[in-house]
Structure 1
Amino acid sequence: MAFLPTTKEEMQEQGYEQVDFIYVLGDAYVDHPSFGCAIITRTLQAFGYSCAILAQPDWHKDEEFLQFGTPRLGFLVSAGNIDSMVNHYSVNKRRRDQDAYSDDGIMGKRPDRPTIVYTQILKRLFPDVPVLIGGIEASLRRLAHYDYWDDKVRRSILIDSQADLLMFGMGENTIVEVADALNSGLAVQDICYIRGTVWKSKTLDMIVDDYILLPSYEQVRTDKRAYAKSFMIQYENQDAINSKMLIEAYEGWYVICNQPPLPLTQEQMDFTYSLPYERTFHPKYHYVPAIEEVQFSITSNRGCFGACAFCAITSHQGRVISTRSVESVVAEAKTITQMKNFKGYIHDVGGPSANFSRPACDKQQTHGACAKRQCLWPTPCPNLKVDHSHYVDMLDQVRALPNVKKVFIRSGIRYDYLMYDKDETFFDRLVQHHISGQLKVAPEHVSAPVLDKMGKPRKELYLRFVDRYYEKNKQFGKKQFLVPYLMSSHPGCDLNSAIELACYLKKIHHTPKQVQDFYPTPGTLATCMYYTGLDPRNMKPVYVAKTYEEKLEQRALMQFSYPKNYEIVYRALKKAHREDLIGNGPKCLIPKNKPKQNASFKQERAHRQKRYSKT
């Protein structure tokens, strides 16, 4: 099966004078099931609809958008696999040097907010053709949202882009329903009944379902308490079964968000991943770096019931886990082993949380996820079913395939869920077979108040996991390490909490090579806290580190042993009246006198300053 056409010539070579849909994409075209464009277009193709791919068009040239002519049913627009603003800017709002989703990693091949830019161009050039937006950028901006880069509350992207319809969540079923509706002759403005869609209307006369009227855009734009209230209503209405229709009023418009799409059944998941993907980037490119981590990886599940406040996966994929059959995963693994550049290593078998291989409890299948109770936090729900057997069977069968030397798990292990399993079979397999020297896990912090805001378990559970992990390594004759992911400046983290984390790092003799600073992105609970200064779960005030100095101090404390950070750490400790941590004692973070910096560091710092001055 060939790549889908990316030019008029390729379209005609494949026998089309007109295609049903033109997919306008902010990424380079990669036909791999880890890329949303590939899944949506291959699904449409499987249901008899033709597609052409317009990848990274030059938005300054109308002719690029005109090259395929008019599609029979409509345009599909997506910014790409990740949010364009996260892709373009660091947490400090500096322009990044590389774009992993572009040919040769070259930055600048798409505009900021391409969903808006592309859609507005299409509506100008093709005013009578439906334009449908989707992907992560549209999904997480489906209603009014705080925008970190503009530092303000922006309108629904459906309003700003002027699109006709927005599709959110994992969209295989949604796109087929929308395509069928358009193919039947239904006008796009009448497609208002499909799960996983957002539409707009001048009136509410046609609403017959039970719905919740959110605070208006004007209210959430000017009142942070109203924003927090609105966010919490949305947060509690993300389940496909339990949620209600949400309506947000704008001047002259209502934006109506239908219920989320139902999670895919195992048969539907198997179908999605059995489609004839080329599993690489289009041959017109030299190299698209984003393929590197996923080309030999397998998605085994979707959804997450982990409740991390800084993550938007539940807003996009939902809390109810969808999983593939063992046979489906093994079939994909066999396909990978036949690829010419396969070296014997499956890089990953997993999903948002690799070891979530079943719904959190049996009732979720018929009653959905609880609106006001998380599955793992603050303590495990009594109904939680902890079972790794399906995942273990899957890993064992993939590992047993001819030509497979090793199967790694890189997409992340929920250590808390692992520790709750009384059957240690998976833990044993993990240590024996699925780690490439070091296991990365995400305790994120050690301070109890911060962990509570993060929705993460207390550090005592993590410490028990660490002990058990090294016991297992000793048992199986392994020398594998743990690398903890830690975060600075998360809402709730003040200077004292940051110092507590630094003291823990001192105790375990670990200095993170990279520091993850909290990044406010649309759709997350923590972003709501960051913007409003309130925890929307109880409307109580939350400390938020917002100034450059505060963030710098928290980052530096995580790397307190670096000479370049000495002055910052010294200032932070003095500010917190923790002079007891300055000196030569075993618990001290820094000495009384500043250590010398070596020449290589000074050269690196000068180079950085020169580069940033140019940008």
Structure 2
Amino acid sequence: MTAFVDVSLFPRAAKPLTSYRPFWAKRFGTAPFLPMSRAEMEQLGWDSCDIVLVTGDAYVDHPSFGMAVIGRLLEAQGFRVGIIAQPDWQSAEPFKALGKPNLFWAVTAGNMDSMINRYTADRKIRSDDAYTPGAEGNRRPDRAAVVYSQRCREAYKDVPIVLGGIEGSLRRIAHYDYWSDKVRRSIVVDAKCDLLLYGNADRAIVEIAHRLAAREPVLSITDVRGTAFVRRTTPEGWFEVDSTSVDQPGRVEDHINPYQTTSEQAAAQGASCSAPNTTVSIADGAGPVSVGVQNDSKKVDGNTHKLNFVPNPSLAAKRKLPPQDRTVIRLPSYEQVRSDAVLYAHANRVMHLETNPGNARALVQAHGEGSIARDVWLNPPPIPLTTAEMDYVFDLPYARSPHPRYADERGRHDGATKIPAWEMIRFSIKIMRGCFGGCTF
């Protein structure tokens, strides 16, 4: 019987989450809930927040909700973290509720993509929202990640914006937007954020927070795995590789009808199921000669038979390639994928091929032409957490209930104040992170 192997013990080139020196504000201790108002900040003895989270969901302090995980993780690192949940996006004033963040904004549309949350597959507005008290709809804007980022910039334009969550992750390169039926630019360009964290952002958000706390400019933070950002040129020391070396775009083939026979499928593709004739007759009647045994080009009955040379696979492995950690793959530009379905599929496939944290390379995609040209740069995916690190994240002091702001006069979260998404997982045990469905939107 094969013994169980804990893969989390394998060596990884990643700094452990618990190895950072806590920020000085650690002395304030742990908050019962992350503050959502100035009054709560004063009760904790805070004069300001180091980091302000902005989310499209109601604040539930439970590890099933992304903003709670990020907030508690940053709090454990010693930072003072406040949260603005479901702000009124019509102006920038609600985004000033907790004052100016000392370090950065952390923006997310919420646990769900805001467009899926707000619209049905028929593009009709939903009447309810499972992540809002009372399931009330219309509490978040379309493309909330973009809108929230723009309002944060309007509120305090000199504060860095770090965008994350599923909405940003799925839109990190030029992508097809079902709701507008067109290819849109990377969300990094539309949201004008300083950094986009895609995938599980635990490692990235902790490293970025400590580096910004050390007064490192956000524009110089370009080497964190799992991040995307805009830059003008490829820096020196990097080897740029064309994406066609990873995947060769070709003609689009129709899906095969599963109800056709093999012969019918071959005929539909202009081929035949019959075995090819691999012998030729000798003119003097000496008998057939197999083409496969010819060791040079010979003319038989006026026909020339070519030799097919198969390269030695062992030699290909010996070719000198640029170092993987200094290689970036150039995807077709936004302008190209917008007008060519084949190149769009090609770019999407290359992005998915480069998602293994163990061997993925950086990606870059141009947006704009001429003087406005810029590149969206994607660093390789983050290194997964070890078992010990995952336990550390989920053992943080969550209140495991909605914020008291949402409670009724009896202090309960029932009836008009009930949050459906909270009720669904209230008595559940979390056994995994993420989704095993592999769906795409």
Structure 1 length-normalised TM: 0.49
Q: Which residue of 2 aligns with 1:167?
A: 197
Structure-2 change in CA distance of 1:206 and 1:102 (3 Å):
farther
Q: Confirm or deny that 1:136 pairs with 2:166.
A: yes
1:291 and 1:303 map into 2 onto residues whose CA distance is 17
Out of 395, 404, 428, which is 1:297 matched to? 428
Alignment partner, residue 423 of structure 1: none
Q: Which amino acid aligns with 1:311?
A: C
Cα offset, 1:299, TM superposition: 2.1
SS in structure 2 of the partner of residue 53 of structure 1: strand
* Residues 207 and 146 of structure 1: CA distance in aligned 2, closer, same or farther (over 3 Å): farther
Unpaired segments of 5 or more residues in structure 2? 1-30, 239-325, 407-416
Q: Which residue of 2 aligns with 1:481?
A: none
Once the two structures are superposed, residues 324-348 of structure 1 have per-residue CA deviations (whole angstroms, 9 ceiling, x without a partner) of xxxxxxxxxxxxxxxxxxxxxxxxx
Identity %, equivalent residues: 44
Q: Does 1:221 align with 2:338?
A: yes
Per-residue deviation, 1:283: 1.3
Which residue of structure 1 lines up, in the alignment, with residue 259 of structure 2? Answer: none
CA-to-aligned-CA distance 1:210-252 (integer Å, 9 cap, x gap): 1100000000111000000001101111111111000001112
| Bigger RCO (CA 8 Å, 6+ sep) | 2
More helix by percentage: 1
Over the aligned positions, Cα root-mean-square deviation in angstroms equals: 1.3
The partner residue of 2:381 within 260, 266, 270 is 260
Counterpart contact for 2:175–2:186, Cα < 8 Å: yes
Aligned residues of 1:32 and 1:295 also touching (Cα < 8 A): no
Q: Distance in 2 between matches of 1:207 and 1:184?
A: 26
Tell me how far apart the structure 1 counterparts of residues 108 and 115 of structure 2 sit (CA, whole Å): 13
Q: Residues 206, 175 of structure 1: CA spacing in aligned structure 2 closer, same or farther, 3 A cutoff? A: farther
Rounded Cα–Cα distance in structure 2 between residues aligned with 1:231 and 1:51: 36
Preserved contact between residue 115 and residue 161 of structure 1 (Cα < 8 Å): yes
For 1:217 and 1:255, locate their aligned partners in 2 and report how far apart those are by CA, in whole Å: 10
> Paired residue for 1:90, among 95, 116, 120?
120
Match of 1:3 among 12, 25, 33: 33
Match of 2:185 in 1: 155
Give the Cα–Cα distance (whole angstroms) in 2 for the partners of residues 302 and 230 of structure 1.
27
The amino acid across from 1:5 in the alignment is: P
1:402-481 pair list within 5 angstroms: none
Show CA shifts across 1:299-318 (max 9, x none): 223367x7x6x614xxxxxx
Matched residue count: 310
Q: Per the alignment, in what secondary structure is the counterpart of residue 52 of structure 2? A: strand
Q: Which AA in structure 2 matches 1:275?
A: L
- The aligned runs of 1:174-213 (5 Å cut-off) are 174-206=204-236, 208=238, 209-213=326-330
Alpha-carbon distance in structure 2 between the residues aligned to 1:11 and 1:168: 30
Distance 1:192 1:298 in 2: 37
Question: Does the Cα contact within 8 Å between 1:143 and 1:157 map onto a contact in 2?
Answer: yes
Measured in 2, the distance between the counterparts of 1:303 and 1:14 equals 33
Residue type of the partner of 1:151?
A: D
Aligned pair partner of 2:439 in 307, 311, 331: 311
Distance in 2 separating the partners of 1:47 and 1:207: 34
Give the corresponding residue for 1:39.
Answer: 69
Aligned mates of 1:125, 1:277 — CA distance in 2? 29
- Give the letter for the 1:168 counterpart: Y
Could you tell me which amino acid in structure 2 is paired with residue 211 of structure 1? V
User: SS at 2:344's partner residue?
Assistant: helix
* Residue 282 (str. 1) matches residue 403 (str. 2): yes
Q: What is the aligned partner in structure 2 of residue 593 from structure 1? A: none
**In 1, Cα distance between equivalents of 2:127 and 2:364:** 40
Q: Is 1:53–2:184 an aligned residue pair?
A: no
* Residue 302 of structure 2 is aligned to residue 272 of structure 1: no
SS of the equivalent of 2:429 reads strand
Structure 1 position 63, deviation (Å):
1.7
CA distance in 1, matches of 2:34, 2:190: 30
- Which amino acid is the alignment partner of residue 427 of structure 2? F
Paired with 2:236 and 2:193, the residues of 1 have a C-alpha distance of: 20
SS of the equivalent of 1:302 reads coil
Q: Superposition pairs for residues 598-609 of structure 1, below 5 Å?
A: none
Following TM superposition, by how much is the alpha carbon of 1:180 offset from its aligned partner in structure 2, in angstroms? 1.0
Q: Which secondary structure does the structure 1 equivalent of 2:230 belong to?
A: strand
Q: Are the counterparts in 1 of residues 92 and 152 from structure 2 also a CA contact under 8 Å? A: no
1:24 aligns with 2:54: yes
Q: Distance in 2 between matches of 1:222 and 1:206?
A: 31
Shift of 1:207: 6.0
Select 1:245's aligned residue among 331, 343, 362: 362
Asked whether the 8 Å contact 2:49–2:99 carries over to 1, the reply is no
Structure 1 equivalent of residue 134 of structure 2: 104
The 3 A distance-change label for structure 1 pair 206 and 71 is: farther
CA distance in 2, matches of 1:143, 1:258: 12
Equivalent residue number for residue 305 of structure 2: none
SS at 1:220 equivalent: helix
For the residues of structure 2 that align with 1:126 and 1:241, how far apart are their CA atoms?
38
Shift in Å, 1:261? 0.6
C-alpha separation in 2, matches of 1:54 and 1:28: 9
Q: Partners in 1 of 2:217 and 2:383 — Cα distance?
A: 24
Contact 1:158-1:166 at 8 Å conserved across structures = yes
Alignment of 1:12 onto 2:42: yes
Deviation at 1:148, TM superposition (A): 0.5
Q: Which amino acid aligns with 1:297?
A: S
Contact 2:36 2:98 in 1 (8 A): no
What CA distance in whole angstroms lies between the structure 1 residues aligned with 2:429 and 2:69? 14
2:156, 2:66 → 1: CA distance?
A: 24
CA contact (8 A) 1:31 1:278 kept: yes
Structure 1's unaligned 5+ residue stretches are 313-520, 522-615
Residue type of the partner of 1:291?
W
Q: Structure 1 residues 93, 13: CA separation in 2 closer, same or farther (over 3 Å shift)? A: same
1:75-102 CA distances to partner (integer Å, 9 max, x unpaired)?
A: 0100000000000111111111100101
Q: Deviations over 1:385-411 (max 9, x none)?
A: xxxxxxxxxxxxxxxxxxxxxxxxxxx
**Match of 2:106, SS?**
strand
| Residue 68 (structure 1) aligned with residue 98 (structure 2) | yes
Q: CA deviation at 1:68?
A: 1.4
Distance 1:213 1:9, change over 3 A: same
Distance 1:164 1:206, change over 3 A: farther
